[in-house]
Structure 1
Amino acid sequence: MGRRRILAGGIAQESHSFNPVPTGRERFNIQSGAAAIAGARGSNSLLGGILDAAAEADVEVIVPTLFRAQSGGPVEDAVFAEMRDILCDAARRGDFDAIVLPLHGGMLTPTLHDPEGALMTALRAITGPDLPMTAAFDLHAHVTPEILDTCDLLAGYLTNPHGDQGATGRRATRAALDILSGRLRPVLSAVHVPMLTLGNDRTDEEPLQGLQARARAAVESGAAYDVSIFNAQQFLDVPGLGQWVLAYGNGRDAAPDALALDLAQSLWDQRRALIGTYPSLDSCLDRAEQGTPRPLILGDQGDRVAGGGPGDSTHVLRALLARPKLPPSVVPLTDPEAVRACHAAGQGARVTLTVGGRHSTVAPPLEVTGEVLGLGTEAHITYDGPADAGYKARLGAYALLGLGNVQVLLTDQPYSYLDPDYFRAMGVDPARMGVVVTRSGYHFTLNFAATGECITVDTPGMTSYRVQELPFTVARPFFPLDEMDFAPALHAHRSRAG
């Protein structure tokens, strides 16, 4: 028998139904073949974990293509179709033994509310029902019946903020190899819970910490082969929005039904406790004015690119400029027009610009006058980690605008700034700032912990946890927008164990 081979690849992006800016091809880092493998090897990423597990088993990995983008508006249909066709063409060649898909799970296109399910269905139509196919998803994925019916095992992150991307890729790969060898006949117990977690949903804090501990104990004791608790992306107006508990057993008589039902009931019982609160922006800036021993790293949760926002809200910038006694501060802002104007003026020029507020309507565009401190047509970053440690990405054009003690990092594309290297790559050392603003709610806290004190602040915008302000229609009913009677019930699905 020759060396076994795994087909891996796909598309990873988290979409926001109410962000009007489509995510086009230019927003994606696209790699394939040896370049994709070299870029991911040794990194704490889903593909990095797939490669690690495959290497341990002496299995080759084939990567026809991997599209990866920051969160944002729905992905253009043509981008999804390009990726799907490349993977399906590779699947038709049939020179592999299993499929492992490193995806996000929370993506939309204008015509598809479940692109990942559509991809799996297309692949399954080519491979037939017997070839092992597993997937690794973000904890904030939108799980659907179509995904569960076509995928033999779906592994989700177990941490939020996410630090186990590599481990999740390894879990999905080991499951595929166990199915291939006959060691695993997965049988799924799945429960959907029609609710959202809103702000108090870190897995290193209660109540999710306790639920994840119970799930982990079940796996460690052998009561389940794998367990994932999915806390769906909160800004998807799609059918069936909500939480999913997936508990996999091994063999026909090993369905962990009681475990899945119990975890789902616990989620529902603690639904009100999963709605969090944050300190005000003013209270954090008061502290910064008084002086803090370490930089304050603030997460602008109202305009989180990490949550699908446009990244052009001027709400925090206005607050910074209103306080001349603040220490040196930096705030990122998406504004292609302002970037072009700075490039036209040149480094060292003094310019007057109207910035931000094109898509984030909570604060209007702002006229500012300052000095162009830095320019670039592109930048390259490597994540410090621990989240996605070693992941490499290319950024587009940027300009650094000085407004006294406030520096505005203008970019032609929205970025989440989950890692300090975003700032360093564009000429700002976050460790030397008094206030650093990220376009993230809490994912930034892992990678910025060594840089400063990380605080998520209560700011308005389309990624604020004030979901009652968003025009949900398709996804309803769900808690907390709707009060309802709910009792956990098992989802019927295809099972390899029969």
Structure 2
Amino acid sequence: MPAETVLVGSISHETNTFADGLTTREDFQKRRERFGEEVRAELAGTNTGVGGVIELAAEENVTLIPSVVASATPGATVERDTYEYYRDRLLADVREHRDDLDGIVLPLHGAMVVEGSHDGEGPLVSSIRDVGGDELPITVTLDLHGNVTDELIRESDAVIAYETYPHVDMATTGRRGLDVLLGMIRGNRSPVMHIERPPLSPVTPTQNTREGPMAEVMEHARRLEERDSIIKVNVFPGFSRSDVPSMGFSIPVVADDDPDAAKVASRDLAAKVWEMRDEFVGDFPEPKEAVSRSIELASELDEDDGPVVLADVGDNPGGGGAADGTTVLRELIEQRATNAGMAIIRDPEVVETCVRTGVGRRVSVTLGGKTDDRHGEPIEGLDGYVKGITDGEFLNYGPKGTNTRNHLGRTVRLQCGVDDEIEVIVTENRVQPADTEIWRHVGIQPERLSILVVKSTNHYRADYEPRASHVIPVNSPGLAAMDPRQFDHQHIRHPKYPIDPMDGSEYPDW
């Protein structure tokens, strides 16, 4: 039997519409831009959606045509010209290979917003339909933070989401997306979808799928998948830092030629989520309290205990944060923390000063707080010691994004605070420090520090939590702030809990 021919392409961005400026092609190039066979060379063997597609295609003897893979660090709205450049490259490949294609699999994100539009993914799949035709099977894999639009559901044959946050199942999800596609191509599956939207936007640390309410929701979703004809029960808590009509919780269910089964399962889970809505509104300490608590806990650690890990949630670059927020670092300095570390502060000016000054010398700098006024004031007159300088290049070895590359730009290990007891990783680029290798690449063994601060919301848990004695999510200010009530949404659908007061009687509405 001839091998199936499948095209894979990915244009991926988690858009924070509250961030200033635009995300341009240069931003994509800083993280990942690959074309054609470069895709296979870069992503084969990685824990990414495309990596999973490559892996299963090889196992199933599928002829895989890699098109475009472009991904930028979460940030501002995607520039229209940049989006159209990648879209047109993808469409050109679809046109070139149209007569040979049996299907297309698209590992996307689900929360991309493009200049002049509230949706990036829906129109992208629509444009592929215009070229490939309505009969060409198309499956889409998404980050569970997708704000899923009706157009995306309508134009895709099946949507498959990550099941974990931290996202440790990206390759697995890519495999699932291709598996469903192959089932369609081989005549074994006829997927249909139904989506429900409970009016909820969870506080972000409560979206952790390892424990708490989201773990319970995911367990229920897996039980629903045991029903006849159910292919996939997708759970999307959404991305609250994106001011678009589709922002919020959604539950698209994929069934095999059984729309009623999809509807029943989707409504079953939507009703459960709504019943649990108050569990998705947490209470977390602000920087002063969190640092004080971490110092207290660190003082009680035994020699073999792991560090206390603080998550500087509000300045998470993985949610669009500036990565130069100073609120937690300032508290570490003022409260005289010792044996502590901060990853990261993005400050190209300070990097340049330290590089010019050289390793082994002292500097006086104004650090951080330079992007805007939402992440804390600059720390002025900071005295520090330049301990090391790197090129900022390293691989992830932890469970999230395994074997993928990081590009921090020039990076400085700067020691400051009382007796230079605070290690700060200062970078040129915004990168979420979700993998502990970021410390080792500058010469720090993170397990030997008493307090670790990482600018991350939940992804850090995959690699840090097994090493930590305590984990404290910090309710810090910034573009990635944890509570949706901290943003001035103008375009979302109302009412939506907890942004709007709701007593529970408004939903379900069927």
TM-score class, shorter: over 0.9
- Asked if residue 481 in structure 1 is aligned to residue 481 in structure 2, the reply is no
Q: Which residue pairs with 2:86 in the alignment?
A: 83
Q: For 2:389, what is the secondary structure of its paired residue?
A: strand
Paired AA for residue 499 in structure 2:
L
Asked whether the 8 Å contact 1:46–1:169 carries over to 2, the reply is: yes
Q: Which residue pairs with 1:230 in the alignment?
A: 236
Q: Which residue pairs with 2:323 in the alignment?
A: 311
Asked whether the 8 Å contact 2:141–2:160 carries over to 1, the reply is: yes
Q: Which residue pairs with 2:408 in the alignment?
A: 395
Q: Which range moved further: 423-432 or 263-272?
A: 423-432
Q: Which residue pairs with 2:482 in the alignment?
A: 465
Asked whether the 8 Å contact 1:120–1:147 carries over to 2, the reply is: yes
Asked whether the 8 Å contact 1:187–1:254 carries over to 2, the reply is: no
Q: Which residue pairs with 2:150 in the alignment?
A: 145
Question: CA, structure 1 residues 308+253, in 2 after alignment: closer, same or farther (shift >3 Å)?
Answer: closer
Q: Which residue pairs with 1:445 in the alignment?
A: 461
For residues 158-192 of structure 1, give each alpha carbon's deviation from its aligned partner in whole angstroms, at most 9, with x where no partner exists: 11222211111111111111111111111112112
1:122 to 122, 127, 146: 127
Q: For 2:339, what is the secondary structure of its paired residue?
A: coil
Q: Which runs of 5+ in 1 are unaligned?
A: 491-498
Q: Which residue pairs with 1:380 in the alignment?
A: 393
For residues 22-70 of structure 1, give each alpha carbon's deviation from its aligned partner in whole angstroms, at most 9, with x where no partner exists: 3333333112233321332222211121122222221022222211222
- Asked if residue 50 in structure 1 is aligned to residue 53 in structure 2, the reply is yes
Q: Which residue pairs with 1:494 in the alignment?
A: none
Identity %: 30
> Partners of 2:138 and 2:387 in 1: how far apart?
50
- Asked if residue 267 in structure 1 is aligned to residue 267 in structure 2, the reply is no
Q: Which range moved further: 351-360 or 251-260?
A: 251-260
> Partners of 2:346 and 2:116 in 1: how far apart?
26
- 1:318 CA displacement: 0.6
2:383 to 361, 366, 369: 369
Q: Which runs of 5+ in 2 are unaligned?
A: none
Count of aligned positions? 489
> Partners of 2:509 and 2:53 in 1: how far apart?
33
> Partners of 1:350 and 1:210 in 2: how far apart?
51
Asked whether the 8 Å contact 1:8–1:61 carries over to 2, the reply is: yes
Asked whether the 8 Å contact 2:342–2:454 carries over to 1, the reply is: no
Q: Which residue pairs with 1:288 in the alignment?
A: 298
Asked whether the 8 Å contact 2:229–2:256 carries over to 1, the reply is: no
> Partners of 1:116 and 1:205 in 2: how far apart?
30
Q: For 1:255, what is the secondary structure of its paired residue?
A: helix
> Partners of 1:56 and 1:271 in 2: how far apart?
42
Asked whether the 8 Å contact 1:191–1:489 carries over to 2, the reply is: no
Q: For 2:386, what is the secondary structure of its paired residue?
A: strand
> Partners of 1:298 and 1:96 in 2: how far apart?
48
> Partners of 1:254 and 1:220 in 2: how far apart?
16
> Partners of 1:224 and 1:380 in 2: how far apart?
43
- 1:362 CA displacement: 4.3
Aligned pairs for 1:79-478 (under 5 A) are: 79-93=82-96, 94=98, 95-198=100-203, 199-252=205-258, 255-279=261-285, 280-281=289-290, 282-291=292-301, 293-358=305-370, 359-367=372-380, 368-376=382-390, 378-403=391-416, 404-453=420-469, 454-477=471-494, 478=496
Aligned-residue Cα RMSD (Å) equals 2.0
Question: CA, structure 1 residues 253+142, in 2 after alignment: closer, same or farther (shift >3 Å)?
Answer: closer
Asked whether the 8 Å contact 1:299–1:439 carries over to 2, the reply is: yes
Paired AA for residue 420 in structure 1:
T
Q: Which range moved further: 227-236 or 190-199?
A: 190-199
Asked whether the 8 Å contact 2:94–2:131 carries over to 1, the reply is: yes
Q: Which residue pairs with 1:496 in the alignment?
A: none
Q: Which range moved further: 460-469 or 145-154?
A: 460-469
> Partners of 2:509 and 2:255 in 1: how far apart?
17
Scaled by the length of structure 1, the TM-score of the pair is 0.93
> Partners of 2:22 and 2:241 in 1: how far apart?
15
- 1:339 CA displacement: 1.5
